[in-house]
Structure 1
Amino acid sequence: MKTFRYYSCLMFAAFALSACDAFELDNYEEPGETIEGIVVDAKTGEPVLTDQGSEGIRVRLTELSYGDNVDHNPDFYCRPDGTFRNTKIFKGDYNIRIDGPFIPVYRDTDDGTVISDDTWYGKISGTTNVKFEVYPFLKVEFVETPSVSNGQITAKVKVTRAISKDEFRSMVEPMGGYSNDFTNVTDIQLFVSMSSSVGYRARDQRWSSQINYAGDSFDEYEGKPITIRSAAGQTIPSGRHVFVRAAARINYDTPRGSGTRRWNYSEPLEVIIP
């Protein structure tokens, strides 16, 4: 009996010591540094409007304090107005890469040769501010205030290229695997929602609609007012306050090979259904 008690005490002491060691290993302060920034058009200085979700502008942080062979932090995304903020970052040296409906800020060839690196390198401590200047694919805007008739919204939208086909090609072709189809505008969307953060992730599918374009058929409409209506046969109830945004995208995924083709957006507008 004494032997049993002796070994039991030893086992308990070892367990308690291990538990204390494990507790000490996890006893780190919570991350409290802040990174905030904005993504703007390099030509105009205007914010690059986006969607608040995985189809929007992706922000990827990689901490470099412990060497180059490290995993990136969990991705997060810009707000609809092109700004971003993360208040739970450990102090350290970082690289920040963004991916969105614009020329990639990091471009390399198939063999890994770096063509251009406009990602951000620096130390995050306290509140750190970052500004990215990029080249959006498209500019999307409402030509006039949308109208309402019998519970259906009619909007006039103008889509222009924020970067020309030749400029796009000069930047993207050196990466390899270039296709003239990349610059084709594939669709224009009218997103309708009860939420002011209206977009692909916050849309009401009953009322939202789209116009699709095959090949380069959109080109004849570039810069011209295009009429788009909310979904036919789906009446928006009288008295509702809804929000609308127009969006358009090209046949190019960012980052390359991801399969995600991201929209460029207009400003949101509020529409009151009489």
Structure 2
Amino acid sequence: MKSIKTLSIALLSLFLLGGCELNELDNYEGPNASINGGIYDQETGELIQQDIINGMQIEYTEHGYDNPQIQYVVVKNDGTYRNNLMFAGTYTIRPVRGNFVPVESEEIVVKGNTVKNFEVQPYIRVRNVQIEKQGNKVVATFNLDQTVTNKVSRIGLFAHQEPTVGAPLNAVASVVNFNQVSNDVTQYRLEINLEANSGNLKPGNKYYFRVGALIDAPEAKYNYAPPVLLEI
């Protein structure tokens, strides 16, 4: 009986000790700040369209720790981002793995609702886009204005019921392995045959179509024009 009583007291002590530790953990304040902004073309001032799946991210680390953990915020399809669960403090921040020339990290003080925009140089600007239904095809014509000397590896026309359509999210895609340097004078053309893809693109329904181009650079993502909604 004595041993059982001793064990019970020991277990009770551990429980009380654990409860004190949990109370101490619960005393930490929660997130008290937020950050938001956009990724802008430094020349045009326009938001740079992004992929919603496996797209670019905002990388940030909080100062004040010996081994700070790298954290990430996903950038939305329209080129904006937001994180409402930040702690007030100083951070090192930069956008990474995007469709623009890499930029250097910056230090920023986050307090209250902080706005931080980034002006970047997109690898490619997809210009003068025309997407229309022509008979049993959807035809896209466009120009490419690339800002670096790398080759354009691929160009594509993507279709999906969601406006977040792109290379990683599409029902139908017409992709060409381009593998050359483009110029801003040539008009390029891509098309999707509606009859051949009637199983995925149902007649009488509406779909978003979007043109994109991918530069040949490490971790690069597609550059896009805004999506166009068509009834087929």
The residue type paired with residue 84 of structure 2 is: T
Residue 155 (str. 1) matches residue 140 (str. 2): yes
Q: Is the alpha carbon distance of 1:149 and 1:23 closer, same or farther for their aligned partners in structure 2, counting shifts above 3 Å?
A: farther
Structure 1 gaps of 5+ residues are 107-118, 166-182, 254-259
CA shift, 1:26, in A, is: 4.5
Q: Is the alpha carbon distance of 1:223 and 1:48 closer, same or farther for their aligned partners in structure 2, counting shifts above 3 Å?
A: farther
Report the Cα distance in structure 1 between the residues aligned to 2:23 and 2:167, rounded to whole angstroms. 44
Contact 2:165 2:208 in 1 (8 A): yes
CA shift, 1:196, in A, is: 1.5
CA shift, 1:145, in A, is: 3.7
Who is 2:79 aligned against?
82
CA shift, 1:149, in A, is: 2.3
Who is 1:101 aligned against?
99
Report the Cα distance in structure 2 between the residues aligned to 1:199 and 1:143, rounded to whole angstroms. 15
Who is 1:143 aligned against?
129
Who is 1:266 aligned against?
225
Who is 1:197 aligned against?
164
Contact 2:124 2:145 in 1 (8 A): yes
Structure 2 gaps of 5+ residues are none
C-alpha root-mean-square deviation of aligned residues, in Å?
2.0
CA shift, 1:105, in A, is: 0.4
Contact 1:59 1:96 in 2 (8 A): yes
CA shift, 1:244, in A, is: 1.0
Q: Is the alpha carbon distance of 1:77 and 1:265 closer, same or farther for their aligned partners in structure 2, counting shifts above 3 Å?
A: same
Who is 2:64 aligned against?
65
Name the structure with the higher strand share.
2
The residue type paired with residue 246 of structure 1 is: V
CA shift, 1:24, in A, is: 2.2
Name the % identity: 29
2:186 maps to which of 208, 224, 238: 224
Q: Is the alpha carbon distance of 1:231 and 1:88 closer, same or farther for their aligned partners in structure 2, counting shifts above 3 Å?
A: farther
Name the structure with the higher helix share.
1
Who is 1:244 aligned against?
209
CA shift, 1:222, in A, is: 4.1
The residue type paired with residue 79 of structure 1 is: K
Report the Cα distance in structure 2 between the residues aligned to 1:224 and 1:32, rounded to whole angstroms. 51
Who is 1:234 aligned against?
197
What is the CA deviation profile of residues 102-132 of structure 1, one whole-angstrom value per residue up to 9, with x for unaligned ones?
11102xxxxxxxxxxxx33111121100111
Who is 1:186 aligned against?
153
Who is 1:125 aligned against?
111
CA shift, 1:76, in A, is: 2.4
What is the CA deviation profile of residues 218-268 of structure 1, one whole-angstrom value per residue up to 9, with x for unaligned ones?
43x543221101257213221111001111011101xxxxxx221111011
CA shift, 1:3, in A, is: 4.6
Helix, strand or coil for the counterpart of 1:66?
A: coil
Contact 2:34 2:85 in 1 (8 A): yes
Q: Give aligned pairs, total.
A: 228
What is the CA deviation profile of residues 200-225 of structure 1, one whole-angstrom value per residue up to 9, with x for unaligned ones?
23211xx21111123x3x43x54322
